[in-house]
Amino acid sequence: MGHPAFFDEAPRILVRDPLADLLGAADGGLLEYRYLDAVRLAGHSCPTVAGAWLAARTALRALYPDEPAERGGIAVQMPAPEDEGVTGVIAQVLTLVTGAAAGNGFHGIGGRHARQALLGYADAATGDAIRFSRRDNGATVAVALDLSRVPPAPQLRGLMAAALQPAATDAQRAAFARAWQDRVRRLLLEHADDPAMLRVTRLH
């Protein structure tokens, strides 16, 4: 099954999951996630999925600067309701990487390793920053994502309109797909560490 080559070049995220270690799913609990994992979860690749991926990476690097982040040891607070805009899509990617789940999450084993209720949503939009908190020491960062820093190609709207026509040709659909994924590529490969696009604030 093919996918754009840049998926494999995108930054990867290494975490340590004590539950995976306990249950023998990964040596030492070490899990390496790739952008392709997020694509498979979402079923597509888009700026939102890429932005969520980079937001997770940015937050975990800030909270765990010298070691892999502890999956399941992080609480995530979304800045908007679950059904508002792309909030739910972003949250799903964050759950993949951090293990933080809402009310339907894993209850734990022997009073440990619970993932339930580690992901929360605001009752109303409170801004654009996602809060990530370590459960062991309370360290918290807020990450705000500004995708406007990497605008789409000027011709993208026209290419999309053509590709969505019932009589669209294979060439028209391919042209749109290339232009769409080019923005994702630029986000992941050229702006993964861009502080203007990924604004991190340490909270006390």
Non-local CB neighbours of 41 within 8 Å, separated by 6+ positions? 92, 93, 96
For the segment 58-97, what is each residue's pLDDT rounded down to a tens digit?
A: 999 999 999 999 999 999 999 999 999 999 999 999 999 9
Identify the segments of the chain with pLDDT beneath 70: none
Residue 157 CA to its chain's centroid (Å): 25
Which H or E run includes 199?
strand 198-203
**pLDDT of the residue at 190:** 97
Distance CA 187, CA 168 (A): 28
Say if residues 53 and 188 touch (Cβ distance below 8 Å).
yes
